[in-house]
Amino acid sequence: MFYTFLVLAALGSNTVLGFSYTTIYMKENCGSTASLGSAGYIEWDRDGRSYDHRADCSVILKTGSTSERIALQFIDIDIEENGQHSCYDYLYLYEGAVTSFDGTTPNKEICNSQLIVAYTSSTSVITLRLVTDSSTRGSFKILYTTYMNAVHGTGCYSSWFLCSNYRCIHSELKCDRMDNCGDASDELESAGCRTGDSLDRCANGVSVHGGRVHMCNGVAECSDGSDEWTNSWALCPTQEMHGSCGSLVTLQPGTSGYIMYSRYVPYSRGTDCTVQYNTQSGYVIRLLSWDVSGMDYHCYGTLFLCDGITGSCDSWESDFSVCSTSTDDTSYVTSGEELTIRLASDWSKSGNFEIFYKIEQGGTSGSSTVVTVVVMIVAVILVIGCLVYCCGKKSRSSSGDDDIVEGETVQWPGETPRDNIHLHPTTVVHTDRPRSVGTPTIERVPPQPSPRQYSYPSAPPQPENSPVPPSVRVEPPTPSTSTGEPPTPPPSYDQALWMPTEPPASARQS
């Protein structure tokens, strides 16, 4: 093992928390076999240059023991695709030591449209082969870890660490900010690690601004982006949609991290996964630093975001959708404490994505501020409306008679209810007495009988000496002279027609 580390140290190394992660460069080892240590990287060129045109380079990777296996994590893949869900340049992965490729079927064909996140071998030897054309160059970076499967009932050897997935890795890899187990159990507090601390150096050994690197804050301060990695080194907190489709996930206030489909496997073709997120009342969910470079730029796979909890978040109901292949700094914030994310992919391409999230108090969000302003404007309008109504009502009350009492019917003395139907439904109290405090006293004067006066219509002209039917000849009524007798009622209409137009002679003489 010591000899292996000396060989790998000559190939190149990156130090992370005291452990030296050596790098195997394929360009320097074409057609040969490279021995693997506990963990390290696989890249094309020592100087970080893109791979060559018309390259055909294969390297056999072998562990130090036949009982060990190889776990690969594809950290950065930029291998040219043809835009039709296949590749122009290929990174082939074979099980075992392969030297002749005529008719040999690879286990994996890897490029931008055939992206994978992780791979584990079934033997102690694998073969990588890079084949390129003459058009576009690219690059790749792969993290490898050698491990053994734990023996049932025995566990791992004393110099190994037992992962939660029952892999045994070298103890020196524990708590180094690299996910060597594959389930991050070697980087948790339960393994004796301190999480969330800043580091002095990035994964490539470069120091940022001469000081501490702030991990998992949504901003890539390392040139290789390693301070924001979700699958190795930084090991940022991650909410995986894979395994949570159709469920509700609660995010704690004040926390942050990444939402992605999976840390280890891409979403498959035809995936339709909806996850609902919520947090404590009074907080909002802010999303930023969108990295959807693993998704197809033709939008065969799309992310839909809906404000609130909904079961049908699609192109009709979503507030925001993204399917670009570039990193987007767009910031999206919910209006409340709930969010729905849906991943919809057709049957043409698989992929992955990363979205940084932060749980903030509701008052810090732009949309919450807008809602608050709108509520304040509506409240001001209501107050002004109430003031105008009250002032107008007071003005109308002061312009009328002070003795008007609402809710009563006006009836002047001597009038019947029908006579005052045109009046406003208030009561006017005519009294010279001062108004007393409390319920006003209404003085009603009974109507006085008015003297009866009769008027008779003129009778039709009659010829002289014409006889008048005795049945209709009626003498005018004579008022009663007695004090207590009621007045004689007036004649009927027919009787009045035949009454003489002149009063009786006795009345004229008197």
Correct CATH for 241-369 of 3.40.50.2300, 1.10.10.10, 3.40.50.720, 2.60.120.290: 2.60.120.290
pLDDT at 224: 81
Residues in the chain: 510
β-partners of residue 357 are 257, 287
pLDDT of residue 47: 84
Whole-number Å distance between alpha carbons of 119 and 74 = 8
Q: Beta strand 332-333 with 160-162: parallel, antiparallel or unpaired?
A: unpaired
What is the overall mean pLDDT for the chain?
A: 76
| Comma-separated ranges of CATH 2.60.120.290 domains in the chain | 2-149, 241-369
CATH number of 2-149: 2.60.120.290
Backbone CA torsion sign across 482, 485, 486, 492: negative
DSSP for residue 208: B
For 345, other C-beta atoms within 10 Å of its C-beta total 24
What is the predicted pLDDT for the residue at 89? 94
Residue spans of alpha helices (H) in 246-365: none
- pLDDT, residue 292, reads 82
Q: What is the model's pLDDT at position 326?
A: 57
Q: Residue 58: how many CB atoms within 10 A of its CB? A: 19
pLDDT in the model for residue 67 = 92
**Positions in the chain short of pLDDT 50:** 1-12, 364-368, 401-408, 410, 420-439, 441, 454, 456, 471, 482, 510
HSE (side-chain half, CA atoms, 13 Å) at 414: 4
Long-range contact set of residues 4-11: C-beta below 8 Å, sequence gap at least 24: 4/35, 4/36, 4/37, 4/64, 5/37, 7/35, 8/35, 8/37, 8/40
Task: Give the CA radius of gyration of the chain.
Answer: 50
pTM summary value = 0.55
